[in-house]
Structure formats: structure tokens, C-alpha cells
Structure 1
Amino acid sequence: MSSIAISSILVVLSIVAIIYLTAKVKFNVFGALFAVTMALAVFGTGLPFGKVIDAMKTGFGNTLGGISFIIIFGAAIAVCMERSGGALSLATHIMNMAGKKNTKAAVAWTGFIPGLTIFCDTGYIILSGIVRTISATSQLPMPLLASILGTSLFAVHCLVPTHPGALAAATTMNANLGLLVVASIVFAVPGLIAAYFWSSKMCKGMDYAPATVEAPAQPSTTQLPSFAFSLLPVVLPLVLISISTLLTTFGLKDGVAAVFHFLGNPVIALLVGMLCGVWLLACNGGQKGDFSAVLEEAISKAGPILIITGAGGMFGAIIKETGVGGALGEALGSASVGLLVPFIIAALLKTAQGSSTVASITTAAIIVPSLATFGLDSEAGRIFAVLAIGAGSLVASHANDSYFWVVTKFSNIEMEQSLRVFTTSTIVMGVVTFACIWGASFFFL
């Protein structure tokens, strides 16, 4: 048996081991990730013993470097929103507008629209506090609303070229960005709808509890901050990030644009949002010293999330060292089955190493030399190829994906619940999205 075949088996066994240890044995998540990652690094990568820990530290550190400040400031926004009553104000307004029967749909669009320009993990961190409050007030199970919000953000993150994976794939394939933006939004909708109904199906008959939130002394909604005021800590970061994204799309980098790019950096945008949250708290019964208390609570909440998220990135980095993803890509890259090839390669890469962005970029690099072979060497063909890659990068978000841990931990739900509802929903979403893309290709290719 070849070394790559052995490594492939070990990768599969590693994923199964993490799921078993955390979901069934109830072993500590970080402990399970660390132990399994080390075993895989020793037996599945061929790395010298002296390089094993270095590779693990690099994967852990790179993941934290990209998300740590975002998680801390995002957690601070959530604390401010809860303490000031802003989250309850937003949740009450959304429920009053949508009605109890439409609460789930309101949560889906709450994620989908901001997700057009904001990274899924950043968006989930910002919006999770609101959704927890909606779950508590509507008594809808938190795993259900977590999956609906998580998939609505994830759909556009993987498909729309305002995000790095889809944008890099489109650039590699020289696809028409204007047409791709429109097409990707159109095809994200059926995937989101499929995930919405699948999430509901997976929660049906299960004894999943609604979220519990600490409610400050608020005897009536008349004492809550206004809806517009409460929106500021949530919407302002989204607006700043969106402006920066649009300026980048139009190729504007200097002068006034440079200022907006600085403010639109997710770390700075969330810092601004946190300061707005502190202001909201100060204007609604806050006291001296609340800013320090907010940071203390935010760091306390963010700490475990950061550790587990970093460990998930570490696991993904070691999987990459095995070479399994590259071997799978090369093997499938020689097959001539049209759009199915980029979809399968992206899905396997995403499932194996965890990053949708890496899956999209790698798949595009593998596919672009063979576009003519697959009958995709045309303007429409390149657009459909990028869309197929995006659909594949949706499948599947699980233990080696940092976003999986953001959804799980910021929702305060069990890993087993998240795997059952959210992970399976990402699989269904990816398959349904690709089915729609494939069906449409018969009319446009």
C-alpha cells in the first residue's frame, strides 16, 4: 500500500477519533484535538520528530493570528449588547416585525444580507448574541437558530467573490467578476433554503433547549434602548468592512480609500463596534468601571473559544502536511466529467483540511489548466467552474474547521448537536447548490 493511501486512511481515522472522543466519550475538546493531531503528525506526515511540534505550533499560531482580536472584540460587543439590553431590544423588534411564525426566516436573512460583504466567522461573532437572545425569548432551540444563522453566512462566504476564496478562484480562472457576483448570489439562495429546512428537520423530535441569557433588570421593553441605537454596535462594523470591500473591488487603494481600508479592517471595525457598545452601555445605566468589566468578561468568554479554534487550525495544518489533499486533487484532476470535477475536488479538500478558502484556491489552481478538457474554456464555463468550486467548499464544516468551532462555542451548544444539525446542513447546502448550478449549466453552456 502506498504512503499516500496510508496517510488517507489515517486522516479519516483521525476525524472519526475526534468526533468519537468529543461527542461520545465527552473528552475535553482541546485534549482530543491535541492528542489526535500529534498522533497524525507522527504517523501520517513523515515529518521528523523534531519538526512535529513546530508544525503544530505553526498551525495553532497562524489560526489565532487571523482570528484572535476579532473574537475578543466580537465577544466584547456581545457583552455590551447583553448588559445594556441592546440585544433584547433588537431581538424584540425582529420578532415583532417577523412574527413568531417567521422568526427562523428572519434569522436566515439577518445572516445572509450582512454575509454578502463580511466574513462568516466575523458575522457570526457579531450576530450570535442577538440570535441567542431571540432563542431565549422565542423559546426556539439554539442548535436550530445557530445552524440557520451559520449556514446563511457560510453560503455567501463560499460563493460570492467579495470573499477571498471565491475571489481568488475567479481571478485564477479569469472569470467575469460582475456576472459572477450576480450568479453566485442567485445560487446561494436555494442552498440556504435547503439548509434552512434541513436544520429544522434535524431538530425535529430532539430535546434541544433554547439559549439562556443573563437578563439585566429590565421589567419592560419600554426601558430598553431604541432599536436604531442598539443597531449601531452591530451595523457600524459591517458598514465599515463593506465599504473597504467595495473600494477593493473597484481597485481604489490610496488617499481617502486608504483611511476606509484601515477602518474596514475587521479588527479595527470590531474595535469601533466595541466602543459603540460601551457607549450604548454607558447611556443605558452603565457605571464607572464597566469598560474594564466588559473586557474582563469578553476575555473570559473568548479564551476557551480561542484555544479550541486554534487547535482546530492546528489539526487542519497537520492534515495539509500529510499531502492527502494534493493527491486527491491530482487524481480527480485527470477525470473528464465537467463541472463535477471541481465540485468533488473542492469538497474533498474542504472536508480534509477545513479551510474553504484553501479548498477554493487549490482547486482553481488544479482545474485551470484543464478547462478546455472539461468543456469549460468559455466566459460562461469559467463562471460555472468557479461556482462549482464554491459549492464544493461548502462541504463540510466539521471539527477541523475554525468556523465550526465559532458556531458551536459562541452558541453555547454541544459539539454533538452542532455536528448533527450544522455540519449536516452544510453538506446538504453544498449538494443542493451544486445540483442547481449543474442543472443551470445545461441551459447556459
Structure 2
Amino acid sequence: MPLVIVAIGVLLLLLLMIRFKLNGFIALILVALAVGVMQGMPVNKVITSIKMGVGGTLGSLALIMGFGAMLGKLLADCGGAQRIATTLIAKFGEKHIQWALVLTGFTVGFALFYEVGFVLLLPLVFSIAASARVPLLYVGVPMAAALSVTHGFLPPHPGPTAIATLFNADMGKTLLYGTLLGIPTVILAGPVYARFLKSIDKPIPEGLYNPKTFTEAEMPGFGVSVWTSLVPVILMALRAVAEMVLPKGHVLLPYAEFFGDPIMATLIAVLIAIFTFGLNRGRSMDEVMGTITDSIKIIAMMLLIIGGGGAFKQVLVDSGVDKYIAGLMHETNVSPIFMAWSIAAVLRIALGSATVAAITAGGIVAPLIATSGASPELMVIAVGSGSVIFSHVNDPGFWLFKEYFNLTIGETLRSWSALETIIAVCGLIGCLLLSTVI
């Protein structure tokens, strides 16, 4: 019955948005209310879940998206994004520009949460799409695929790291196996699949990209543009390295964790960008602050819609859908790798959050490792890959991709949901193949 109610909720959401053209945020809140009531939750509990879902989703994401939007707008308005785009196109050539985005996304993805990397790389994607005159998804999908693979497969991301700890998996081996499987997965889900999406050619969302063509003198240097943009990446990478190599209680660890926190790292980047992309380029402080104000206006509705997705997810969690699914799956007699992947996949489809699905599935299948003799490292990747399958309307990431790329729900399912499914299936196949030789 809980799965039927979830299905009804998803169908109701699609009906409200597609048939009645209701705003996504309002539709998500109404569906969250309806699903909670149908699941038998007390009305006041449903309201509490919605508040927690919105607050939990936007608690840190609002700050990260806000600072990321500021950094991106400053980068675009001073010509820095154009400088990076034109340099990359010149180095790789327009024919191979997708590979530039794959390399960038995969490298950045090691240190960044998915949402942070996505927001930070979007101005670059928009600039390249405009400069190279290619469809937005042609370069956007490879970037998103690279970020998603690192998010699902590789420590130090929260999902894989938590599961690796739970499974007593070797972090180095997990990173090695994840990278080996991640490279072909990114290629298939990114540059290869993007070629099937050329018919979806949407304009760059107004306000998120500065269409002005800057002269050579107006643009900052390539080095300044890249390094200012990569400040959050560097700080968070240093934090990840410090957490892996320094013992608990080390005097430097609190400082690494403070400066490498995604919120602090993006704030520092914005403060640096105010100088390098603003004051140092001859702009007044009033002009720079005008750019920052404009950047926040652009993402206001996006934040609400993503928060609505978080509310829907929280209602599903609080109403016990995860426990119901776990009970259905626990007694089946199948390969532990396939079971781990399947539980994570079903939880992901039902709940929306990849991290919640991964950690919940990890707790369910952890006892299987000792009894089955399965590689704990491959089990980590199996759970991680299953947890990213078919992102849809109950996943805040779905709305993030839809709104930033200016897509309809159908187009988002065809692009984002499909590439996530390709990643999940490739991860499963890769784990099964590797398990025959490890």
C-alpha cells in the first residue's frame, strides 16, 4: 500500500504541473500534504515533516547556492567566464569541447558536493554553449554526469564515505575501484548520451549568463579567472585530504574543516571575487553589489522549488516508506551486490535523496558482507550507484537540473533522469564484472 500511495502522489504532482500548470513549489507542497495524510500520518505531523524537509534541504543548500550564484554572476559580468570558455575551446577545439567539461567536472567532483559543483560550473557551461554555438545540454550533460558519478561512487562524498565506514571498506580501494568504474560510466552517460539530446536546444535562462561579448582588454586573465573560480574546490580538497591523512585531534584538523566547509569555502571565494572580478577591474563597490543582488533574484524561485522537493522527500521518510521497502527486500535470495544495488535503487526512486537512499540501504545490507564474503569496496559502489538511479520529481536535484537548464518535466526526464539511470546501471554491471576477478 505505501508504494501505491507514493505512485499516486507522483501522478498527482505530474497532473498538477502538466495539466493545470501549477507552480512547482505549490504543487510539491500540496502533494506532500496529500501523501502524508494518505499514509496515515497525523495532520500536525505532516506539517512538521514539510517544515523539516524544506529547512533540511535549504539549510546549507540556500547558502551554497546563494554564494555560488554570486560567484558565477561576478565571473560572468567581468568577462571571466568568457575568458575561460574561449581558452578551453581554443585548447580542446569545438569538436572536443565535451571532453573539457568531463575532465573539469570529474576533477572538481572529487572535492565538491554535487550541488556545489553544479552551481559553480554552470556559468562555464553557459559560456561555452554560447561561444561554441552548441545546444546547452550538449555540454551540460557531460558536466552533470561527471559530477554525479563522483557523488555516487567516490569518497570523500558523504554517501560513499558513510557506507565505506559502515562496511569497514578500505577507503583507498573504494576510491580506486570507483575511479576505474567511474571513467567509462562518465563517458557513456556524458559525451555519448549527450549526442542523443541534440534535439533539445533550449536558450540559456535569462539572467544566468551575460551575453555581452567582452574585448580582450576588458576580460581578466585566464589564470585569475580559473584560480578565483577554483578557490572553493581547493579549500574543500584540502579539507578532504586533511580528514583522510591527519589523525583525529590533530591541531590543524579543525582549521581544515572550517575553511574547507562548503559554505565557508564559497563565501571566501565570493570575497576574493569581489576584488579580482570587481574592484580590480575598475568597477565601483555599488556596481559589484548590484551584481550580487541580481544573482540572488535569479535563484529565489529555484530555491523554493528545491525546498518543495525536500518537503516531499521528508514526508515519505517520516511516514515509514523506507522501512516498508526494506522489509520487502530483506528476505530475497539474490547476489549481495545486486541486492545492495536494488535496495538503494528502490529507496532512491521512492524517497528522492541519493544520500538518504545510500545510507539507508547501507544499514540494511551491511550484515550481508560478513555472511556472503562480498567485497566491501564493491558493495559501497553498488549501493552508491543504485542510489542515483532515475532521479525524478521527488528529488531536489531533478528540479535543480530542470530550472537551471530551462527544461520541461518531459525533457528533464529524458535528459537528467536518463543519464542518472545510465550511471546506475553501468555501476551495477561494473561491480558484477569486477567481483569475478577480485
TM-score normalised according to structure 2 size: 0.94
1:26 and 1:143 mapped to 2: Cα distance? 24
Instruction: Measure, in 2, the Cα distance between the counterparts of 1:236 and 1:38.
Output: 41
1:125-144 matches, cutoff 5 A:
125-144=119-138
How far apart are the structure 1 equivalents of 2:19 and 2:261? 40
Q: Please tell me whether the aligned partners of residues 233 and 277 of structure 1 are also in contact (alpha carbons under 8 angstroms).
A: yes
Q: Cα distance 1:20–1:133, how it changes in 2: closer, same or farther (>3 A)? A: farther
- Residue 232 of structure 1, aligned match among 227, 234, 254: 227
| Mapped partners of 2:19, 2:235: distance in 1 | 43
> CA 1:414 to 1:374, structure 2 compared with 1: closer, same or farther past 3 Å?
same
- Alignment map for 1:39-438 (pairs within 5 Å): 39-44=34-39, 46-197=40-191, 199-209=193-203, 213-216=209-212, 218=214, 220-252=215-247, 253-279=249-275, 280-338=277-335, 339-376=337-374, 381-438=375-432
Distance in 2, Cα, partners of 1:330 & 1:194: 34
1:403 Cα shift? 2.2
Q: Shift in Å at residue 110 of structure 1?
A: 1.2
Q: Return the offset for 1:147.
A: 2.3
Indicate the SS of the match to 1:398: coil
Bigger Cα displacement from structure 2, 291-300 vs 346-355: 291-300
Question: CA–CA distance in 2 between the matches of 1:286 and 1:76?
Answer: 16
Where in structure 2 are there 5+ consecutive unaligned residues? none
Q: Is the 8 A contact 1:396 1:424 kept in 2?
A: yes
Q: Which residue of 2 aligns with 1:3?
A: none
For residue 13 of structure 1, report the CA deviation from its aligned partner: 2.1
Partner of 1:34: 29
- The 8 Å contact of residues 152 and 381 in structure 2, kept in 1 or not, is answered as no
Is contact 1:175–1:382 with CA below 8 Å preserved after alignment? Answer: yes
Structure 1 residues 101 and 268 mapped into 2: Cα distance closer, same or farther (>3 Å)? Answer: same
Q: Deviations over 1:250-276 (max 9, x none)?
A: 244542332222111111100111112
1:384, distance to aligned residue in structure 2 (A):
1.4
Cα distance in 1 for partners of 2:389, 2:144 equals 14
| Paired residue total | 433
Displacement of 1:20 in angstroms is 4.1
Distance 1:256 1:287 in 2: 37
8 Å contact from structure 2 (residues 97, 139) kept in 1 = no
Q: Give distance in 2, aligned partners of 1:145 and 1:47.
A: 44
For structure 1, which segment, 308-317 or 294-303, has the greater mean C-alpha deviation from structure 2 after superposition? 294-303
Shift of 1:277: 1.7
Q: Give aligned-pair identity as a percent.
A: 27
SS in 2 for 1:170: helix
Is 1:22 the counterpart of 2:43 in the alignment? no
Contact 1:74 1:270 in 2 (8 A): yes
Contact 1:330–1:366 (CA under 8 A) maintained in structure 2: no
> Helix, strand or coil: the match of 1:306?
helix
Tell me how far apart the structure 2 counterparts of residues 24 and 134 of structure 1 sit (CA, whole Å).
35
Please tell me the residue identity of whatever aligns with 2:325: L
Query: How large is the Cα RMSD of the aligned pairs?
Result: 1.9
Q: Secondary structure at the match of 1:113?
A: helix
What displacement does 1:288 show?
3.1
- Cα deviation for residue 365 of structure 1 reads 0.8
In the alignment, is the contact (CA less than 8 A) between 2:113 and 2:157 conserved in 1?
Answer: yes
Residue 287 of structure 1: how far off its partner (Å) = 2.0
* Native 8 Å contact 2:6 2:35 kept in 1: yes
Distance 1:249 1:297, change over 3 A: same
User: Which moved further from structure 2: 275-284 or 70-79?
Assistant: 275-284
Deviation at 1:201, TM superposition (A): 4.3
CA contact (8 A) 2:202 2:405 kept: no
CA contact (8 A) 2:142 2:189 kept: yes
Structure 1 position 402, deviation (Å)? 2.0
CA distance in structure 2 between the aligned counterparts of 1:307 and 1:129, rounded to whole angstroms: 21
